[in-house]
Structure 1
Amino acid sequence: MATEGQQSMSWLFFSPSGRLSRRPYFLGWLFWAAIGGFVLTRMLAHQENDLALALWTLALVVTGLVSTASIVMLTIKRLHDIGYPGHLAICLFIPVLSPVIFIALCLWPGDDGVNGDRR
């Protein structure tokens, strides 16, 4: 997963360096899905109140931007773990290919060896 000095939440969610195994990759996606789902339900619960709806909509937009950046960083680390270059994370933005790539990255075992940075 990470070397001793890098095991922090900021490294996990916002750094492209290193490698990431299947479980933390899936759990990172699950975390952002849960946060997005929570914000969306709050937004839907406040449909009658314009100010609250506007604030929850803003929170949804901010959460979407932050989670997209974080998911790209998670994917780059996961691609490093299976021996592929990180710039292939752009495939997540291809609509038909995105679910296939996600499932493959969740199931494909990582390469053996040192958990160094692969680029």
Structure 2
Amino acid sequence: MAEEGQQPSMTWLFFSPSGRIGRLPFFLSWLFWFLVGGVFLMQMLKNETEDTALALWTLALIVSGVLSTVSIAMLAIKRLHDIGYPGPLALCLFIPVLSPIVFIALCLWPGTKGQNEFGGPNNGPGH
């Protein structure tokens, strides 16, 4: 994570497995990726008769899908750290039947107060 006293970066938030995040940053990050995918999908539907534009928007959707999958795994790891669980449990988000349950739990389960084995709490919103 960022050094003591430094603000965490967007790169850390979306693509680093280290540290902890609260409920609100976790949910808002998911919402961000959902909206990005929605915008690209809308553009694909809008340009379905234009081959070049459709190909470019499809590529953009695929790239955003890969980036969002990696990012969501990193976000889940940090969220699991916040509630005191190990990061590999984030794999549960990729099991179809468990995914919605795990997502809701990560959005609602409060983080541990103070220091835990994964570091200090995030000073941002969501705790």
Partner Cα distance (2:108, 2:5) in 1: 25
Partner Cα distance (2:117, 2:39) in 1: 35
Partner Cα distance (2:20, 2:89) in 1: 15
Query: Is contact 1:18-1:80 (8 Å) kept?
Result: yes
Bigger CA drift: 4-13 or 92-101?
A: 4-13
Q: Which residue of 2 aligns with 1:27?
A: 28
Q: Which residue of 2 aligns with 1:82?
A: 83
- Counting only pairs closer than 5 Å after superposition, residues 55-94 of structure 1 correspond to structure 2 as 55-94=56-95
How far the C-alpha of 1:6 sits from its partner, in A, is: 5.0
Q: Which residue of 2 aligns with 1:100?
A: 101
How far the C-alpha of 1:81 sits from its partner, in A, is: 0.2
Counterparts in 2 of 1:38 and 1:87: CA distance versus 1, 3 Å = same
Deviating beyond 3 angstroms after TM superposition, the runs of 4 or more aligned structure 1 residues are none
Partner Cα distance (2:34, 2:115) in 1: 30
Counterparts in 2 of 1:50 and 1:5: CA distance versus 1, 3 Å = same
Counterparts in 2 of 1:55 and 1:88: CA distance versus 1, 3 Å = same
Superposed CA RMSD in Å reads 1.7
Tell me which protein shows more helix as a share of its residues: 1
Matched positions, count: 118
Partner Cα distance (2:18, 2:30) in 1: 18
Which runs of 5 or more structure 1 residues have no equivalent in the other structure? Answer: none
TM-score (norm: length of structure 2): 0.87
What fraction of aligned residue pairs are identical, expressed as a percent? Answer: 66
Matched, 1:46 2:47: yes
How far the C-alpha of 1:7 sits from its partner, in A, is: 1.1
Note the alpha carbon deviations across 1:22-80, whole angstroms, 9 max, x for none: 00000000000010100100011000001110110000000000000000000000000
